[in-house]
Amino acid sequence: MFKKLEELEKKYEELNKTLSNPKIIADQSKFQECAKLHSDISKAVLKYKEYKGTIKEIEENSKLFLEEIDKEFKKLISEELEKLKEKKSNFEIELKEIMFPKDPHDRKNCIVEIRAGAGGDEAALFAGDLFRMYSRFTENNGWKTEVMSSSPTGIGGFKEIIFGITGEDVYGKLKHESGVHRVQRVPLTESSGRIHTSTVTVAILPEAEEVELEISANDLKIDRFRSTGPGGQSVNTTDSAIRITHIPTGIVVTCQDEKSQHKNKDKALKILRARLLDLAEREKHEELALKRKNQVGTGDRSERIRTYNFPQNRITDHRIGLNLHNLEEVLEGNLGDLVANLSEKLKTSSEI
C-alpha cells in the first residue's frame, strides 16, 4: 500500500506541474482529463502527507525522549508520543479505506431514468413520487437536478422522466437504487378501497465524459420533429425535438423538453453517452456476474429491489432484508439511512 502511495504522491506532483503548463491549459480536453486525475488521487496523497508528517514527529520526539534528563519534561514527551502513535494508527486505517478498490464511477455525476411499469395511471403517479423523492434527496445533499426528458401524464405523473444529478460522489451514493420499485396502496381512483400493486423501474447511470467515450457521427441517425405534450398536442411551433439513434446498438434517445434544438441535442447525446457506457460496463462484467455466489443482490434494474407499502407505512428492501417504518419521511427525500445501509451491506457485491 505504501509503495502505491509513494507512486501516487510522485504522480500528484507531476500533475501539479502539468496543470500549470500553458499548452495543457489551452487543450481543454487534456486539461480536464489531468484535472480529474489530480482530483481523484488528491485525497489519498494529502492524507499520506499528513501520515508522513506524523511519522516524522514520532521520530523527533523519540530522539528527544532518549536525550532528555528532566523527568517531568520526559513525561510530557512520553504522553505526546502516545497521542502521536494513536494518530498514526488512525491515519493507517483511513489510508486503507481510501486505497481499498472502489467502483471507478462512484465519484461521477449520474443520469436517472424513471419509467412507469405495471399499473397504468397508478404506476405513472408513483413514478412522479419517486422523481420528487430523488429531487428532494438531491436538494438535501446540496446537489443539482436537471430534467433532460419527460413524458408527463394528464393526472400529474410520468410515463417516463430522465434527469441528471450533479454533485460530489453522486453515482456512488445512488447506484444501488437501480431496479424495480413496487408500490402497494389504494389509488385515488379506487372507490372500493382496494389495495393495488404497481411497479416503476429506476435506472441509475454514471455520466460518461466526452474524453472517456467518443461517439462517431457516422454511427448516429438524427431526426428532428415537433415537440408534443400530454394527449399529443403540439407544444412548439418549430421542429426543436430531437431523436438520436445509435445505429450499431439500436439505442434510441428522444429529447423535447427544451425549446432550443441545440439544447435538446446536447441532452440527448449526454443520455446516449451514459447508456453506451452502461452497456459496455454490463457486457464487461456479464461473465463475472454469472459467477457470483452468496451475493445479497445484484442491483440490476430488472429485479424487484424494494416495496413501498402505504397501509403499513413500511419500506422493504428485498436485497438486504431491511424493513423501515418511515415511508412518508423517505418519500420526502430522507433517504440517508436507507442509502447508508445499502452501501454497507452491498459493498462486497458491488466490488466483485
pLDDT at 189: 67
Nearest of 134, 328, 179 to residue 147 by alpha carbon: 134
User: How much is the pLDDT for 163?
Assistant: 95
The SS3 call for residue 184 is strand
What is the model's pLDDT at position 238? Answer: 60
d(CA 263, CA 39): 29
Using an 8 Å Cβ cutoff, are 216 and 238 in contact?
no
The helix-helix angle for 71-99 and 2-18 (nearest 10°) equals 80
CA distances from 206 to 90, 112, 215, 222, 352 (A): 32, 9, 17, 24, 18
pLDDT at 119: 87
Can you give the pLDDT at residue 128? 95
Given a contact cutoff of 8 angstroms between Cβ atoms, the answer to whether 292 and 349 are in contact is yes
Task: Please check whether residue 248 is in contact with residue 239, taking contact to mean a CB–CB distance below 8 angstroms.
Answer: no
Cα–Cα distance for residue pair 299/292, rounded to 1 Å:
13
Instruction: Look at residue 1 in the predicted model and tell me its pLDDT.
Output: 77
The one-character DSSP state at 206 is: E
CA distances in angstroms from 284 to 280, 287, 289, listed in the order given: 6, 7, 10
- Residue 231's pLDDT is 52
Which grid cell is 19? Answer: 496543470
How crowded is residue 163: how many other Cβ atoms within 10 Å of its Cβ?
22
Residue 322 CA to residue 234 CA, distance in Å, equals: 46
What Å distances lie between residue 281 and 178, 204, 213, 301, CA to CA?
15, 13, 12, 14
Sign of the alpha-carbon torsion through 16, 22, 23, 27: positive
Question: Which of 129-155 are b and which e, b meaning 16 or more Cβ less than 10 Å from the residue's Cβ?
Answer: bbbebbbbbbeebebebeebbbbbbee
Can you tell me the distance from the alpha carbon of 77 to that of 39, in angstroms, rounded to the nearest whole number?
37
Residue pLDDT tens, the chain, 352 long: 788 888 888 998 999 899 889 988 898 888 988 998 898 888 888 988 999 899 999 999 898 888 877 888 888 888 899 999 888 888 887 887 777 656 778 888 999 999 999 888 899 999 999 999 999 999 999 999 999 889 998 888 999 999 999 998 899 889 999 999 999 998 876 767 789 999 999 999 998 876 567 788 889 999 988 776 655 555 555 678 899 999 999 999 999 888 888 889 989 998 998 998 888 877 766 654 554 333 333 334 456 899 999 999 999 999 888 899 999 999 999 998 888 888 777 764 444 3
Displacement of CA 306 from its chain's centroid (Å): 18
